[in-house]
């Protein structure tokens, strides 16, 4: 009888153990089923959602936005520096042409002079004085400076027109930007006037000086605006970051 009781208890224990294992397996299957149904949304599902809702992509993260701002800042900075280099060489050419036609005609006077056997000593000392006239411009330099300007003005205009600023920047900065583009649009007419008075073979010094000075004034205004835009743009980008 004792042996029957022991056998019955052993059988009951085995049944309980099997039942526990089945319960565990069933619970594990339920957990897996719930995770597959309500778990994290896949990348494909996210993309499909935004396409169906008319949104191109998910909102950018703060880190991605900072990267976009930095990239935009570098692009604007690079464009403004390139514009500054072109302005520098163009101003140099216009100024060199102006100086070429403004060289005074000078003579040496006041030295001892001889009239027969008599040596005349100057009363007011010696030195070089201006005659009031200007030296005739040298053709090779006139052609060289005009050629440089003729080459650089279209490049400068193209750089100004292709320059773009983000819409998030202030209206004051946009006004300076529009003024810069507006002045660049008039450079072609100013250059045409310079070329018209530099045909030769006889040059009019004052006509060339006047035309080159008008072009130089516009270039100086453009450089002032470029520096102001560069300064304010860096401040604006720092605020956005």
pLDDT category at 38 given cuts 50, 70, 90 is very low
pLDDT at res. 76: 82
Rounded to whole angstroms, the Cα distance separating 1 from 7 reads 10
Q: Where are the alpha helices (DSSP H) in 101-170?
A: 139-162
User: What's this model's pTM, rounded to 2 decimal places?
Assistant: 0.65
What distances in angstroms separate CA 215 from CA 94, 150, 153, 174, 238, one per listed residue? 7, 12, 10, 24, 35
pLDDT in tens, 77-125: 889 999 999 999 999 999 999 999 999 988 776 666 666 777 666 655 5
Quick one: average pLDDT of 232-239? Answer: 77
How, if at all, do strands 118-120 and 127-134 pair? unpaired
Domains (range + CATH), the chain:
62-101+137-240 (1.20.120.240), 105-134 (no CATH)
pLDDT at res. 204: 95
How, if at all, do strands 113-115 and 118-120 pair? antiparallel
């Amino acid at each position: 009888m004792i042996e029957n009781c022991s056998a019955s208890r052993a059988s009951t224990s085995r049944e309980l153990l099997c039942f526990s294992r089945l319960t565990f397996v069933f619970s594990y299957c339920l957990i897996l089923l719930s995770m597959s149904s309500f778990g994290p949304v896949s990348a494909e599902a996210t993309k499909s959602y935004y396409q169906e809702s008319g949104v191109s992509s998910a909102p950018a993260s703060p880190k991605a936005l900072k990267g976009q701002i930095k990239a935009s800042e570098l692009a604007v900075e690079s464009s403004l520096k390139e514009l500054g280099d072109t302005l520098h060489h163009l101003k140099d050419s216009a100024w060199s042409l102006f100086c070429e036609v403004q060289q005074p005609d000078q003579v040496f006077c006041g030295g001892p002079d001889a009239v027969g056997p008599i040596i005349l000593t100057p009363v007011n000392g010696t030195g070089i004085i201006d005659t009031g006239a200007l030296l005739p411009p040298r053709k090779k330099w006139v052609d060289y400076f005009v050629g440089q300007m003729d080459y650089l003005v279209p490049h400068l205009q193209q750089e100004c027109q292709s320059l773009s600023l983000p819409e998030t920047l202030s209206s004051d900065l946009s006004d300076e930007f529009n003024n810069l583009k507006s002045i660049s649009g008039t450079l072609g007419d100013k250059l045409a006037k310079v070329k018209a008075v530099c045909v030769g073979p006889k040059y009019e010094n004052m006509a060339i000086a006047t035309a080159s000075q008008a072009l130089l004034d516009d270039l100086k205004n453009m450089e002032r605006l470029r520096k102001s835009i560069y300064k304010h743009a860096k401040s604006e980008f720092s605020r956005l970051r």
